[in-house]
Amino acid sequence: MKNTMRAMMIAGIFLALAFMLSVPNICADSETNATVTKEMAVQAINESERIISEMKGGNFSTAHAEDNLLEARRVLKQAEYADILRNESLSYDEKKEAMDALSLIDWRNLSYADVLQYTDSVKNIEEKALLISDMIFVAESKAQALSPETLKILDDAKTAFSEERYNDAEKILDDFEKAAEKEKAENSSMSAMAKGAQRFLRKYWIHTIVVLAVLAVLGCFILKKIRKKRLAEKIRKMKAEEQALNGLMKKTQTERFKKNEISGLVYGIRMKRYQKRLQEIKEELPVLESGLTGFKSKQGLNKQKRKNGH
């Protein structure tokens, strides 16, 4: 009997705790729904209309954004009907249209806050479209002297972008970046030297026994050269990216202040992203350049030692 009572008490405590934890969430949802007025919902819809208009002006596809706008308008109308049904001062005849419109809907928890989930989706679509558009612009600046196979990857990304498959486009652009870097590395003189060495070793593998000692001495020197070249290449790419970002910032400023083609919101989003990346480059680039300078200083010191030795 005592065990049964103890089990019931423990179960009661857990139920009480679960209820106490759920109350704040319920209250928070109720407070959010209550603070979103019809005027705020209408304003959000108007903002979505403006965003879609600007996207069309920028030749962006807007099918998904327009679908969300239609849903926002539909939910707004349903919320208006729900307000009518909640108004106890209205007669049955005055509520008849609203009752018919919401006959298949659980309207009791319906509010103007439900409109915002669709208008927020429109904002998210715009931000994603701008991000992918800028990524394509940067990718095109790196597309010179690449093979048709690698350029095909970039074309696939553009197709995904035009079809509003933004997540796919972002992944394909990442694949393009990797393919472009790999192709450039393979076309470098160091890559050609490595391939020639491989062919030589396969053909004259017996002779390698004789030259192993020489290769051991030269190995350290070659390794340092490779590291230096990779570091210099990384610095070059980072400077190219910095130049591209500055170009994007100037282009965005022209579109905003001279041509008035984009809104202040779009301008702010772009500039914030560009400035953040530029700041990262400014912090990382001096470190890389310092490392490259260290390589050169060591080489100069070694040369001087050899000269003094002679």
pLDDT above 50 (res 27): no
122 pLDDT higher than 90: yes
Q: Which of 7-11, 56-60, 186-190, 206-210 is most confident?
A: 56-60
CB 183 within 8 A of CB 146: yes
| Cα(123)–Cα(68) distance, integer angstroms | 10
What pLDDT score does 48 carry?
98
Is residue 25's pLDDT more than 50?
no
Name residues whose C-beta falls within 8 Å of residue 244's C-beta, 6 or more positions apart in sequence: 137, 138, 141
- Residue 127's closest CA among 168, 72, 179, 166? 166
139 closest CA partner among 164, 169, 112:
169
User: pLDDT at position 30, please?
Assistant: 45
Q: What is the pLDDT of residue 89?
A: 94
**pLDDT band at residue 80, thresholds of 50, 70 and 90?**
very high
Lowest mean pLDDT among 114-128, 220-234, 245-259: 220-234
The residue with greater pLDDT, 160 or 220, is 160
Select, from the ranges 29-38, 122-131, 202-211, 215-224, the one with the highest average predicted confidence (pLDDT): 122-131
Tokens (6 digits) for 45:
């819809």
Alpha carbon 133 to chain centroid distance?
11
- Residue 227 has a pLDDT of 84
Give the CA distances from residue 234 to residues 52, 164, 291, in Å, rounded to whole numbers and listed in that order: 39, 33, 12
pLDDT the model gives residue 23: 39
CA distance 224 to 140: 33
Structure tokens at 16: 């009480």
Taken in order 71, 76, 81, 85, is the CA torsion positive or negative? positive
Centre a 10 Å sphere on the Cβ of residue 218 and count the other Cβ atoms it contains.
12
pLDDT of residue 206: 79
Q: Is the pLDDT of residue 82 over 60?
A: yes
Average pLDDT over residues 73-80: 97
Q: pLDDT confidence of 176, banded at 50, 70, 90? A: very high
Structure tokens, 308: 């003094």
Confidence at 220, pLDDT banded by 50, 70, 90: confident
DSSP letters along 1-22, please?
-HHHHHHHHHHHHHHHHHHHHH
pLDDT for 47 equals 98
68 burial type by CB count under 10 A (0-12 exposed, 13-18 middle, 19+ buried):
buried
Higher pLDDT, 56 or 209: 56
Whole-angstrom distance, CA of residue 66 vs CA of residue 55: 11
Residue-by-residue DSSP string for 162-185: HTT-HHHHHHHHHHHHHHHHHHHH
Q: What's the pLDDT score for residue 92?
A: 93
Compute the distance between CA of residue 242 and CA of residue 252 in angstroms, rounded to an integer: 15
State how far Cα 148 lies from the chain centre.
Answer: 26
Supply the mean pLDDT for the chain. Answer: 83
Find the range with the poorest average confidence among 78-92, 182-196, 226-240. 182-196
Measure the CA–CA gap between 206 and 133, rounded to whole angstroms: 56
Helix, strand, coil shares of the chain, percent, nearest 5, are 85, 0, 15
Residue 144: the pLDDT is 83
pLDDT at 44 over 90: yes
In percent, the amount of the chain with pLDDT more than 70 equals 76
- At residue 199, the pLDDT reads 74
In whole angstroms, what is the distance from residue 227 CA to residue 50 CA?
Answer: 52
Residues 223-244: tens digit of each pLDDT:
888 888 888 898 999 999 999 9
Residue 151 burial (CB count, 10 A): 15
> What was the pLDDT predicted at 298?
63
Lowest mean pLDDT among 176-180, 183-187, 236-240, 258-262: 183-187
